[in-house]
Amino acid sequence: MSALFNFQSLLLCILLLICTSTYVHSVLPSFLDRNKTGFLGIFWKCARIGERLSPYISLCCIFMAISIFIGN
């Protein structure tokens, strides 16, 4: 089944996108800062979400890891 049709997989993909964008922004801030609009602006917005809501994002990652571990 595709990740777009399974809600748990969709949430996992969104969390991975946020975490990856935040990491890339911490390593290469100029790359994401020059692409604030357009298609690549999605990554800049995800990096902002990851930076500002990092405790909640980390709790969601832990919750998803536990739910995947218990589910399998």
What pLDDT was estimated at residue 9?
83
Interatomic CA distance for residues 70 and 72, integer angstroms = 6
Interatomic CA distance for residues 40 and 67, integer angstroms = 31
What pLDDT was estimated at residue 11?
87
**R_g of the chain, CA atoms, integer Å:** 14
Residue ranges for the chain with pLDDT beneath 50: none
Residues 6+ away with beta carbon under 8 Å from 72: none
Backbone φ, ψ for residue 19 (5° rounding)? -65, -40
What pLDDT was estimated at residue 3?
59
What pLDDT was estimated at residue 71?
74
